[in-house]
């Protein structure tokens, strides 16, 4: 807690400080703004760095979870639900292929449910690329084999299934999905392509992987290193299962999914997690050894928020997002403030460009920043920006750190 106390004192001292524009009008708008801080993430719920430290000290997964989620229990529930995981958001195109020997992929028109069958419009062998391109309000489907591109069909939605899954017998197959030059491998479920209209961007392509919660989804969660102590891995598996179960109750119109496969919810990295050399089996074992285990409060599953690390004490959901939950009380998290345990984020410094800061506040430019208030644990509560026009805008610390890509809301402004 020593770092947290020093940090709170330092933050109190900067409340009245403002980055003032220089007298030279050409230099009045700073090129960059500098910050220092501690922790990584929103700081609510289980600290992953803290969980690792407790596991190294010999604590069990249940003890770790009971500590970070106040008043909760670890109980057993059904976890065989099928989840719709967004693995490609607001795209204009995507590419898929399998290099697995003997692979067989089939494309179907429409968004097929779990039990629905249909006649395939296309069957792809191994080493054939499926191209999905958005054109106005439709998706154009083509294939590439070697240098030959062959147009196939078009439509609003499609479903891809492959061999070695619960949908199709045959050779176990790994499908590579390329979105914006990033390649991710998937082994389970089926993949759907849909057109969804975004309020700002118009029609866009969404890519959805339908996977079973208890194994297919959890085996692919890439939140913590698989080399961590087993109790920490188990705690993460239970928290991830609980979080996903809470989110499985509704489908989001913005993506046609239950969860995003990114840090918007939790990182879903597909087959690459369980197939990691040496350590992948440890994560898979942690998931399998906790089958059905979830965190409950008053008998109901919680929304099990977790964070990489904190500024020395966890934040509450009320101060992070404005909604109080009885199980996210602030608790000491000294491991996050230990440079040996948290070498990257026990302390940090960042320079953020003028363009990013102005965009965060929706102002034409920003000449000064001022922290208006702090939350009880030392995170920034309110931060105000002033434009060269005299206009001001105020954000919560959590919104500002998210928009500006600062590691956490435990930050102070470096005045120069």
Q: What angle do CA 212, 78, 297 make, to 5 degrees?
A: 120
Query: Per-residue pLDDT for 9 more than 90?
Result: no
For the chain, the average pLDDT equals 93
Query: Beta partners for 396?
Result: 382
> Strand order in 411-414's β-sheet?
348-353, 32-37, 411-414
Over range 317-321, report the average pLDDT: 96
**CA pair distance 49, 310, nearest whole angstrom:** 9
Q: Residue 64 corresponds to which tokens in the numbers above?
A: 């770790």
Write out pLDDT tens, residues 328-337. Answer: 999 999 999 9
Write out pLDDT tens, residues 86-140. Answer: 999 999 999 999 999 999 999 999 999 989 999 999 999 999 999 999 999 999 9
Give the start-end residues of each E strand in 98-137.
104-109, 122-125, 129-135
**CA pair distance 376, 38, nearest whole angstrom:** 16
Output the pTM of the full model.
0.90
Query: Per-residue pLDDT for 1 more than 90?
Result: no
Q: What is the pLDDT of residue 14?
A: 43
Q: What is the pLDDT of residue 200?
A: 92
Q: What is the pLDDT of residue 2?
A: 45
Write out pLDDT tens, residues 24-47. Answer: 444 489 999 999 999 999 999 999
Q: What are phi and psi of 402, to 5 degrees?
A: -70, -45
The percentage of the chain sitting over the pLDDT mark of 70, rounded to a whole number, equals 93
Q: What is the pLDDT of residue 27?
A: 45
Write out pLDDT tens, residues 231-281. Answer: 999 999 999 999 999 999 999 999 999 999 999 999 999 999 999 999 999
Query: Per-residue pLDDT for 5 more than 60?
Result: no
Q: What is the three-class DSSP state of 31?
A: coil
Binned at pLDDT 50, 70 and 90, residue 152 comes out as: very high
Write out pLDDT tens, residues 206-223. Answer: 999 999 999 999 999 999
Over range 301-308, report the average pLDDT: 98
Query: Per-residue pLDDT for 20 more than 70?
Result: no
Query: Which H or E element spans position 413?
Result: strand 411-414
Write the CA distances from 390 to 31, 150, 354, integer angstroms: 18, 57, 16
Write out pLDDT tens, residues 175-208. Answer: 999 999 999 999 999 999 999 999 999 999 999 9
Query: Beta partners for 109?
Result: 158
Binned at pLDDT 50, 70 and 90, residue 415 comes out as: confident
Write out pLDDT tens, residues 342-360. Answer: 999 999 999 999 999 999 9
């Amino acid at each position: 807690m020593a770092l947290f106390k020093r940090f709170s004192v330092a933050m109190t001292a900067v409340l009245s400080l403002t980055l003032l524009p220089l007298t030279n009008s050409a230099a009045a708008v700073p090129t960059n703004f500098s910050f220092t801080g501690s922790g990584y993430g929103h700081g609510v719920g289980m600290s992953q760095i803290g969980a690792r430290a407790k596991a190294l000290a010999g604590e069990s997964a249940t003890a770790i979870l009971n500590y970070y989620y106040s008043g909760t229990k670890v109980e057993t529930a059904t976890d065989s639900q099928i989840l719709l995981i967004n693995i490609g958001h607001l795209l204009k195109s995507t590419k898929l292929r399998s290099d697995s020997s003997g692979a067989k992929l089939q494309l179907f028109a429409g968004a097929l449910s779990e039990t629905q069958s249909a006649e395939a419009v296309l069957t792809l062998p191994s080493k054939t690329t499926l191209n999905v391109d958005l054109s106005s309000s439709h998706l154009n489907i083509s294939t590439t084999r070697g240098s030959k591109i062959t147009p196939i069909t078009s439509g609003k939605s499609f479903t891809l299934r492959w061999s070695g899954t619960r949908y199709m017998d045959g050779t176990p197959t790994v499908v590579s999905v390329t979105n914006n030059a990033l390649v991710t491998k998937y082994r389970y479920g089926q993949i759907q392509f849909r057109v969804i209209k975004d309020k700002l961007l118009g029609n866009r392509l969404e890519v959805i992987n339908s996977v079973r919660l208890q194994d297919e989804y959890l085996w692919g969660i890439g939140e913590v290193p698989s080399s961590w102590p087993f109790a920490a891995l188990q705690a993460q598996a239970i928290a991830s299962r609980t979080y996903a179960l809470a989110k499985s109750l509704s489908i989001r119109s913005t993506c046609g999914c239950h969860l995003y496969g990114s840090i918007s919810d939790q990182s879903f990295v597909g087959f690459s997690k369980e197939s990691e050399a040496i350590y992948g089996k440890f994560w898979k074992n942690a998931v399998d050894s906790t089958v059905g285990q979830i965190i409950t409060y008053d008998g109901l599953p919680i929304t099990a928020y977790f964070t990489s690390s904190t500024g020395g004490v966890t934040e509450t959901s009320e101060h992070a997002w404005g909604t109080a939950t009885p199980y996210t009380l602030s608790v000491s998290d000294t491991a996050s403030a230990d440079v040996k345990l948290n070498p990257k984020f026990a302390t940090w410094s960042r320079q953020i460009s003028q363009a990013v800061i102005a965009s965060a506040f929706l102002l034409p430019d920003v000449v000064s920043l001022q922290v208006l208030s702090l939350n009880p644990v030392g995170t920034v509560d309110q931060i105000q920006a002033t434009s060269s026009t005299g206009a001001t805008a105020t954000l919560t610390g959590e919104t500002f750190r998210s928009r500006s890509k600062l590691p956490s809301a435990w930050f102070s402004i470096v005045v120069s």
